[in-house]
Amino acid sequence: MFLRFALNTDWVFVMNDFNKSIFQAFEWMGDLVYQGCEEFFQDLEDVIVEFETTVDACLEPVFDWLDEMDDMIVTTSRPLVNTVSPALQEHPACVGCSNYHGENYGGNLLVCAMHPYGVEGQSCSDWESVWNSGSD
C-alpha cells in the first residue's frame, strides 16, 4: 500500500513538474514571439520612415519644377486667355485688356477691378493691352 501511495504521489509531482515545464515553455515562446514582433515592427517603421524621406527628397525637385511650369504656362497663356475669354463672355471692350480678370465667384463673374460687371459700350477708358505689357 505504501508503494502504491508513493507511486501515486510521484506521479502527481511528475505531472505538476510537467505542467510547470509546459507553462514555462509557452511563456518563454510567447516572450520570444513578442520580442520578435516588436523588433520586426520597429524595423518596419524605420524602413517606412527612410522610404518616405527618400521619396520626398526625390519628388521635391519634380514638384518644384511643376510649380515653375504652372507659373510659366499661366504667364505665357495670359494674353491668349485675356483675348479669347472676354469675347466668349460677351465683353468685347475687354478683349486683349491686361486688367481683365474673368473669374466666377459664387456664380458672379468678376470682369475686372475697375468694372466688376464689365463696361456697357464697345470701348473702355481703362483698357490696357495685354500683348505689350511687360508685367508678370
Q: Is residue 135 part of a domain?
A: no
CA-closest candidate to residue 99, choices 63, 130, 135, 131: 130
- pLDDT score of 136 more than 70: no
What pLDDT digit, counting tens, does each position of 81-100 carry?
766 666 666 788 888 888 88
Q: Is residue 43 part of a domain?
A: yes
CA atoms within 13 A on the CB side of 27: 6
Q: Is residue 116 part of a domain?
A: no
Q: Is residue 24 part of a domain?
A: yes
Neighbouring-strand partners of residue 108: 105
pLDDT for residue 1: 47
Q: Is residue 64 part of a domain?
A: yes
What pLDDT digit, counting tens, does each position of 10-66 carry?
767 777 888 888 889 999 999 999 999 999 999 999 999 999 999 999 999 999 999
What pLDDT digit, counting tens, does each position of 96-127 carry?
888 888 888 998 889 888 999 888 888 899 99
pTM higher than 0.85 for the full model? no
